């Protein structure tokens, strides 16, 4: 098996060296093939996503298929412009030279996807890699098995294996094996911080550049002047989408003490409106990916102050939308709900009285992937955005920033390295080659030895 993959990887290197992936016509055609294949397999993908995560067709379109096809359309609309050399200004020292940047593909790249959005989080970086002219190895999660089978058919039927290859199997075995046997030109990983560190270490051994899209405890602040009804709707639809298995879902709420009771009641009513009294039967509510994740999430409920929800069924991998009240005055040092990324339909709610109090709680888990603040006060908004270091976020919304291809999506610190989406995806898989072109008709002697006596002139030119 290892020998077979090594041979295929070398075949990809040969194919890339042939130069076939570099033309605009080739890249455009491959993006078109990918879009057509996703649409051709639309119904199979719906069925697979329902089997893996109990996603309904509407949610699957918005967060998976439609997300991918929209990203392809955006890329096709701008690709010719992105590929053109980028002219930049030239300083006085190099007059009369001209300067520009060429974007060239990096080579053979590896993209490792997670299970929670198995299509979107594997194919969205793939779009950028194709657009930039690379050959690509795809490694989907072994946990979203049904969606992986459909993606495997899409890739095999659309592209030759020496150009794009999808590799299955246990990631803990397959990925290290490939990365030790073959030097990729870029590795793009989406998943947990712990696994991200291991991927980073493997890449560092061969000085391979990486993009890491990780997670973290993303806070959501609800100020006293927020529109509570709108905040409840926008928080609930994000937090409980995909049964909370979303890297940019609000991980915990910080609610101003004066509106906490009103907000909790509004949020409870919103959850019932969205998911009914029995969310296990509700069309709009998903399931946990597997028993391991289910057991981890249920452990958070032990000893917790549950103020809504809490029902669960291991046989159905079901945990209903659950709200937990946390009183920080009772101590928070050992509370796992405030230390670990929850990644499920469990939402802790903490009240705060002052900005400083809320900020100190956020600082316990620095550099979240996302940050959300609900307020109608411009000064509060600006203070929060300036005070918290995070990957990306929203004011009076949650998670929807990642649907805008013009915004970079990525983390900072423990929540990730690098960013992508839209043009940023093209750039992350491109080498930015800096070029300066100098004419020969102007060649002043001052640039050459002897230099004695020219210090004053040099100080005027270089300063």
Identify whether the C-beta of residue 438 lies closer than 8 Å to the C-beta of residue 94: yes
The set of residues, in sequence order, having a beta carbon less than 8 Å from that of 230 and lying 6+ positions away, is 374, 396
User: CB of 337 within 8 A of CB of 230?
Assistant: no
CA distance 387 to 196: 27
135 carries an active-site annotation: no
Residue 288 and residue 319 in contact, taking contact as beta carbons nearer than 8 Å: yes
What DSSP character marks residue 412?
Answer: -
Catalytic residue, candidates 223, 247, 341, 394: 247
110 three-class SS: strand
- 50 a catalytic residue: no
Q: How far apart are CA 389 and CA 391, in angstroms?
A: 7
HSE value, Cβ hemisphere, 13 Å, CA-based, for 260: 18
Please give the distance of CA 438 from its chain centroid, rounded to a whole number. 41
Distance separating alpha carbons of residues 277 and 282, to the nearest angstrom: 9
Residue 386 makes CB contacts below 8 A (sequence gap 6+) with none
Of the candidates 59, 71, 162, 213, the residue annotated as catalytic is 213
- CA R_g for the chain: 25
Q: Which residues pair with 250 in a beta bridge?
A: none
Query: Please, are residues 216 and 341 in contact by the beta-carbon 8 Å criterion?
Result: yes
Q: Which of 321, 309, 314 is nearest to 292 (CA)?
A: 314
Catalytic residues: 213, 247
């Amino acid at each position: 098996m290892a020998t077979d993959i090594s041979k295929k990887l070398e075949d990809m290197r040969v194919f890339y060296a042939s130069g076939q992936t570099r033309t605009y016509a080739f890249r455009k055609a491959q993006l078109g093939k990918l879009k057509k294949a996703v649409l051709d397999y639309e119904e199979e993908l719906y069925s697979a996503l329902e089997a893996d995560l109990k996603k309904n067709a509407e949610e699957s379109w918005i967060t998976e298929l439609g997300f991918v096809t929209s990203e392809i359309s955006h890329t096709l609309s701008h690709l010719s412009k992105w590929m053109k050399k980028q002219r930049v200004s030239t300083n006085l020292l190099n007059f009369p030279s001209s300067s520009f940047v060429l974007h060239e593909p990096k080579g053979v790249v590896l993209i490792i996807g997670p299970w929670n959005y198995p299509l979107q989080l594997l194919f969205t970086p793939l779009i950028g890699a194709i657009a930039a002219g690379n050959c690509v190895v795809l490694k989907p999660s072994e946990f979203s098995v049904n969606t992986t089978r459909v993606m495997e058919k899409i890739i095999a039927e659309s592209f030759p294996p020496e150009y794009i290859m999808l590799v299955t199997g246990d990631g803990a075995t397959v990925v290290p094996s490939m990365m030790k046997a073959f030097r990729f030109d870029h590795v793009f990983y989406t998943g947990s911080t712990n696994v991200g560190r291991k991927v980073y270490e493997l890449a560092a051994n061969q000085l391979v550049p990486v993009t890491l899209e990780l997670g973290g405890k993303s806070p959501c602040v609800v100020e006293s002047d927020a529109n509570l009804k709108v905040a409840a709707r926008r928080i609930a639809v994000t937090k409980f989408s995909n049964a909370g298995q979303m890297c940019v879902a609000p991980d915990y709420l910080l609610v101003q003490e004066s509106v906490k009771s009103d907000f909790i009641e509004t949020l409870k009513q919103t959850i019932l409106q969205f998911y009914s009294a029995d969310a296990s039967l509700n069309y709009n509510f998903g399931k946990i990916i597997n028993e391991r994740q289910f057991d981890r999430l249920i452990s958070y409920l032990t000893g917790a102050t549950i103020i809504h929800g809490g029902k669960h069924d291991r046989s159905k991998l079901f945990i209903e939308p659950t709200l937990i009240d946390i009183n920080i005055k009772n101590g928070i040092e050992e509370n796992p709900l405030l230390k670990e990324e929850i990644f499920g339909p469990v939402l802790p709610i903490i009240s705060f009285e002052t900005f400083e109090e809320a900020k100190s709680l956020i600082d316990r888990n620095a550099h979240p992937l996302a940050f959300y603040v609900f307020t109608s006060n411009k000064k509060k908004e600006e203070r929060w955005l300036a005070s918290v270091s995070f990957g990306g976020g929203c004011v009076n919304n949650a998670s929807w920033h990642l649907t805008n291809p013009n915004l970079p999506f990525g983390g900072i610190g423990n929540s990730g390295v690098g960013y992508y989406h839209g043009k940023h995806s093209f750039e992350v898989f491109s080498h930015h080659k800096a070029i300066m072109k100098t004419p020969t008709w102007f060649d002043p002697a001052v640039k050459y030895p002897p230099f004695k006596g020219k210090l004053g002139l040099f100080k005027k030119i270089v300063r």
